[in-house]
Structure 1
Amino acid sequence: MSRWPYVFFAAACFYIMVGVCWGMYMGISHDTATAPGHAHLNLLGFVSLSIMGGFYALLGKETPNWLVTTNFALMNLGVCLLAPSLFLLLSQRVEVGKLVPFFMVGEFSILFGFLAFGAAVILGLRRAGGLSGLRFGFAAA
């Protein structure tokens, strides 16, 4: 088995640990102003990378290494830029104008990371024979 699923899961574990600490901080301080950033970290960092790692472990074994590497790099760049930027913005520690470049790079990195993952899924679907031969419940028998 490729090492990539483990790499995705390791990153996901890191992000959920940071997310749990962030959540504990919000609970202890009774300050939930940064909750949207916390949610983005958990969903993009933990949930998305876990799903991607599961895909590469079960179905994406034949995905080209460059595509998996690109997927991983883009997603992590995006999470590492977006989550701290949201924290700084929502906690009003930095004005929005100074964070715009970080948001732009982070958001587009996440977008292209999801596009890379979609390309991996489509490549896997094509290798598996595409949609031909599939029967849907609403199709005539």
Structure 2
Amino acid sequence: MPRVSELFFKTAIVFLILGVAAGLQMAISGDHGAFPAHAHINLLGWVTSAIFGGYYALNPAKAERRIAVIHYGLYTVGIVIMLPALYWMLAAGHPEIEPVVAIGSLIVAAAVLIFGFVVFSSSETVRSATAAPAR
């Protein structure tokens, strides 16, 4: 499995654990005010990261490109900024943290655009972007 796939899958599992923990915290406390953050942790952290990992596992030539690692790093930084801030804003009632949520969201959006570029780039583009074969 390509390294970037493994990174995305491992990150996905971390967010699955955090999403389950957030859900349990809401259920135990009876306060479901942070349910949008819980949904974002599960959807962006767990599901989307796993899908990215699956895509790269199925497309190892694209996974070997440096842009795949940039995609991983940017996406992960974005969700690490956005999700805790969103949870804190909703669960603890801190609307002043919304600009941090916005910054994280913009970073995530940039990473998604990079992924779109990776998906729509042709195999020829992938080959030419990697090391040229020796003659």
- Give 1:79's aligned amino acid: I
Q: Which residue of the partner structure matches residue 36 of structure 2?
A: 36
Structure-2 separation of matches of 1:20 and 1:92 = 18
Q: Which residue of the partner structure matches residue 127 of structure 1?
A: 123
Structure-1 separation of matches of 2:16 and 2:92 = 24
Q: Which structure has the highest helix share of the two?
A: 2
Query: Relative to 1, partners in 2 of residues 1:100 and 1:27: Cα closer, same or farther, differing over 3 Å?
Result: closer
- Give 2:110's aligned amino acid: F
**Does the 8 Å contact 2:89/2:98 carry over to 1?**
no
**RMSD between aligned residues:** 1.7
Q: CA deviation at 1:78?
A: 1.4
TM alignment of 1:53-92, pairs within 5 A: 53-59=53-59, 61-63=60-62, 65-92=65-92
What stretches of structure 1 of length at least 5 have no aligned partner?
A: 129-141
Q: Which residue of the partner structure matches residue 106 of structure 1?
A: 104
**Does the 8 Å contact 2:86/2:98 carry over to 1?**
no
Structure number with bigger Rg: 1
**Does the 8 Å contact 2:12/2:46 carry over to 1?**
yes
Structure-2 separation of matches of 1:103 and 1:27 = 24
- Give 1:78's aligned amino acid: G
Identity percentage of aligned residues: 31
- Give 2:86's aligned amino acid: L
Runs (4+) off by over 4 Å: none
Structure-1 separation of matches of 2:102 and 2:30 = 30
What stretches of structure 2 of length at least 5 have no aligned partner?
A: 125-135
Q: TM-score, normalised by structure 2?
A: 0.84
Q: TM-score, normalised by structure 1?
A: 0.81
Q: CA deviation at 1:104?
A: 2.6
Structure-1 separation of matches of 2:80 and 2:99 = 13
1:8 aligned to 2:14? no
- Give 2:88's aligned amino acid: L
Aligned length: 124
Q: Which residue of the partner structure matches residue 115 of structure 1?
A: 113
Q: Which residue of the partner structure matches residue 138 of structure 1?
A: none
Structure-1 separation of matches of 2:108 and 2:4 = 18
